[in-house]
Structure 1
Amino acid sequence: MGKPTAVLPIVNPHAAGIDIGSRTHWVAVDQNKENVRSFGVYTQDHQLLIDHLRQYGITSVAMESTGSYWQTLFNALQEAGFEVLLVGGSQTKNVQGRKMDVIDCLWIQRLHSLGLLSGSFLLSDTLQELRTYYYHRQHLIEQLATYIHKMQKALRLMNIRLDVAIRDITGKSGLAIIEAILAGNRDPHELASLVDIRMKKSKEEIAQSLQGWWRQEQLFELQASLGFYKFYQNSLLECDRVIEEALRRSVPAESVSKPVEKIPSENKKKNTKNMPAFNVSQIALTYFQTDLFAISGISHNTVLCLLTTLGKDIHKFASAKSFASWLRLVPNNKISGGRILSHRTPVGKSYIAIALRQAANSIGNQANHELSPFF
């Protein structure tokens, strides 16, 4: 007589599982391999997949979050009226047998039908648009830094140590000197006379840093890098304009936070490099009904990150602990027998986590701060 086995009840009887791929999506509507079908990634293939699911009476679909390949199909299924569950790979990795696309989609369908899958946190459509703009903005800033380093390298290889004499070669004085060099001026004293009167170092020391060996290939790289730098600067300004328009469109009719009796006055923040080219504090005050800039150490870029990548969706989290866990800021403790077996912090890149870490470092470096007891 065989051992009795426990049978789990079916929670989602009309469930399907989809294994997402870069070129093909595999769909399982039940546990019969004969009914597994593959579909392409074009728009007409999405419609064929939707018709296939309706043919079998499917109402709920679970799919694995593979890269960015899931997004278009996810939106198509939602618009078609299906309940769509996006699950992380950690929930579906324990598939039995050899790993194949057919077996993967069958395993996802089985887990979903038994109610063993939990959906990932997804932003609203408005926040997805704003987040895309913000990620592109961060890419532009990274490119700016790349070409600043290339200009510094080209000057350094000619022993023009402008980066030593001037803290920022892309400031007003630095750009004036670089453009004069590219225009053909080689006199160090004439170049030093272009610096701003507020420069701390003397013009004589700056002139000494501008004596070197002029090489044609380095001047060519310097001119090309300066052109790319100006291009990305203009692109950054255009991106800020688009972000400002999108933020003003998405300001909620009702504030995210409860109205306060007295709104504190705006705290004057020092202008920093690559800060947004619009009034972030005004939009944030309208949005949150509280002055985030009253906290010392909170920069314009930190508030912009909160506005564009989280916004009012922060209230979707049940508690601060779940929010910190989603940001991967807390360790994933694995406890057995009262002992902690592992406490590794999950890996992953989160722009919000990076912004909050930078703000925390700034606050921690201050001697007398309101939040110093937490450090």
Structure 2
Amino acid sequence: MEEITEEPVGLVERVCAVDIGKAELVACVRVPHVSKPGRRAQEVREYATMTSSLLGLADWLHRQQIELVAMEATSDYWKPVFYLLEAEGFECWLLNAKHVKNVPGRPKTDKLDAVWLAKVVERGMCRPSLVHPKPIRQLRDVTRYRRSLVREQSREKQRLEKILEDAQIKLDSVISNLHGVSGRQMLQAMIDGQRDPSVLAEMAHGVMRRKIPQLREALTGHFDDHHAFMCAAMLRRIDALAADIAQLDTRIEQLIAPFAQAVRQLDDITGVGTRSAQEIIAEIGVSMSAFPTAAHLVSWAKFAPIDRQSAGKSKASSTGKGNPWLAATIGEVVAALARTDTFLGERYRRLVRRRGKKRAIVAVGNSVLTIIWHLLSDPDARYHDLGSDYHDARISKQRRQRDLVRQLEHLTGQKVTLQPRPELTTAA
């Protein structure tokens, strides 16, 4: 190893930093110098990212008695290296590349990047990113894939609706669920060759039979063999996706079983169903040890606006880009809450009037994440709704009084002072 002459300021004595690529990586080990106290020694080696080479890297790190291995989150290339070294017993840190960016204007190579990263880590100038344990990672893979398939299924349904519009079939204007029992039976009959609107309309079931006259008009169009071919292909794709989603649901039930208590806790929150609870747990885990306070979780999820101020002036700011999968789930929860007669529902309606829909979603999502943190931090905690009249009972009366006084002062141009009525003072 070559001798390093800078002054010792290290917090981690024996550290390894890895600059990762798809086919190879560069590892820099920094340890105390053997014969010169207070000095550091470093060595840089290159390894392929194949399993045998990574095992050779692990052997080298064991011989060097490495305490900490750090690497940047480079695409998905970090995963095999991180997981293998973690399984070998090393403490591994995954670092955000923005937090450990090299100084501009200096040469940039894989070797120099690894050396710089090792220096940053040994001095305690960075913090590790959240990496969930293996059970949560597996659950997250399945829930994310399920959401992807649900989105793809929705796109196929939209494509089917466009084909029907092209054929002047207005079925989705009369039926709320085109893929329900009645809708699917009519679609299949048209694909099989039945084009008579009266016959098709008679296939309606239940309360849908009240709309038979409207169905006849909606089913009158120019649906031909071309439309039948396209619809048949799309329906096969929709059904295949539905079968895959059902299999994923079964797998998720198996993976979520150890966390059933946490699912029940989150399911108590109005707007959070079983599926939303599963997705939330898959993204943030069940242990809140990574988040010392609820504010840390909210900030990590990017549901907390960032203050930007310069020269005494506040500038436009945003929450930043966080976990898109978690944000999608929280957005659905807020959309469901907005239609409920609850504290959070009323909070959304109050905010959307003054601040707009986007800011209201962020603010209520902030509240939802705060509640989630408290529930997962205490297994015995239970959610209790404060009620939709919470603000009216505590805030609105005083605010209404203040607004009326201001309006009266504006109309009269005089100062208004409120005094209790004499009869109330006497009674008291």
TM-score normalised by structure 1 residue count? 0.81
Give the whole-Å Cα distance in 1 for the aligned partners of 2:171 and 2:152. 21
| Aligned residues of 1:29 and 1:35 also touching (Cα < 8 A) | yes
Structure 1 residue 8 displacement after superposition: 6.0
Q: CA deviation at 1:7?
A: 4.9
Give the one of 318, 337, 352 matched to 1:363: 337
Matches within 5 A, 1:161-172: 161-172=170-181
CA distance in 2, matches of 1:247, 1:111: 38
Identity of aligned residues (%): 23
d(CA) in 2 for partners of 1:37, 1:30? 12
Change (3 A) 1:134 1:21: same
Offset, 1:352:
2.5
Give 1:200 deviation, angstroms: 7.4
Task: Give ranges in structure 2 of 5+ residues lacking alignment.
Answer: 1-5, 32-39, 352-428
Shift of the alpha carbon at 1:211?
A: 1.6
SS at match of 1:121: coil
What is the root-mean-square deviation in Å for CA atoms of aligned residues?
Answer: 2.6
Change beyond 3 A, Cα 1:47–1:338: farther
Q: What is aligned with 1:326?
A: 300
The equivalent of 1:273 in structure 2 is none
- 1:37-68 Cα deviation digits (max 9, x unpaired): 32222211211222333344433111001122
Read off the aligned partner of 2:11 and give its amino acid letter.
Answer: V
CA separation of 1:295 and 1:56: change in aligned 2, threshold 3 A: closer
Q: Distance in 2 between matches of 1:231 and 1:360?
A: 30
Equivalent position to 1:81, from 84, 89, 97: 89
Q: What residue number does 2:22 align with?
A: 22
| Aligned residue number for residue 120 of structure 1 | 129
- Partner of 2:108, secondary structure, is coil
Listed one character per residue, the Cα deviations across residues 277-328 of structure 1 (whole Å, up to 9, x for unaligned) are xxxxxx4xx44664x4454333343222224333422353111100101111
Query: What corresponds to 1:278 in structure 2?
Result: none
Equivalence for 1:239? 248
Structure-2 separation of matches of 1:217 and 1:288 = 47
CA–CA distance in structure 1, aligned partners of residues 55 and 187 of structure 2: 56
Question: Could you tell me whether the CA contact under 8 Å between 2:263 and 2:277 is conserved in 1?
Answer: no
Residue equivalent to 2:359: none
Q: Output the CA distance in 2 between the equivalents of 1:234 and 1:352.
A: 25
- The amino acid across from 2:17 in the alignment is G
SS in 2 for 1:110: helix
- C-alpha change, 1:361 and 1:193, in structure 2 (3 Å) is same
State whether residues 165 and 201 of structure 1, in contact with CA within 8 Å, keep that contact through their aligned partners in structure 2.
no
Q: Out of 220, 223, 228, which is 1:211 matched to?
A: 220
Paired with 2:264 and 2:276, the residues of 1 have a C-alpha distance of 17
2:171 is equivalent to residue 156 of structure 1: no
Q: Determine the C-alpha separation between the residues in 2 that align with 1:288 and 1:346.
A: 28
Worse-matched range after superposition: 120-129 or 357-366: 357-366
Structure 1: 5+ residue stretches without partners: 1-5, 252-282
For the residues of structure 1 that align with 2:85 and 2:312, how far apart are their CA atoms? 44
Partner of 1:199, secondary structure, is helix
CA separation of 1:34/1:113 partners in 2, compared to 1, >3 Å: closer, same or farther? Answer: closer
The answer to whether structure 1 residue 109 and structure 2 residue 98 are counterparts is no
Measured in 1, the distance between the counterparts of 2:271 and 2:263 equals 18
Cα offset, 1:204, TM superposition: 1.7
* Secondary structure of 2:206's aligned partner: coil
Q: How many residues align?
A: 334
**Aligned pair partner of 1:183 in 182, 187, 192:** 192
Structure 2 residue matching 1:26: 3-state secondary structure: strand
Question: Does the 8 Å CA contact 1:188/1:211 hold for their aligned counterparts?
Answer: yes
Deviation for aligned residue 1:333: 2.9
Summarize deviations over 1:188-244 as a string: whole Å, max 9, x none.
111111122212762121111112223333321211111011001011111111111
SS of residue paired to 2:125? coil
Whichever residue aligns with residue 166 of structure 1, its letter is: I
Q: Is the 8 A contact 1:61 1:85 kept in 2?
A: yes
Q: Which has the higher contact order (CA 8 A, sep 6+)?
A: 1
Listed one character per residue, the Cα deviations across residues 327-346 of structure 1 (whole Å, up to 9, x for unaligned) are: 11112335567665673312
More helix by share: 2
User: What residue number does 1:51 align with?
Assistant: 59
Structure-2 residue corresponding to 1:304:
278
| SS at structure 1 position matched to 2:70 | strand
Deviation per residue, 1:80-116 (Å, 9 max, x gap): 1212111101111233513322221111011112221
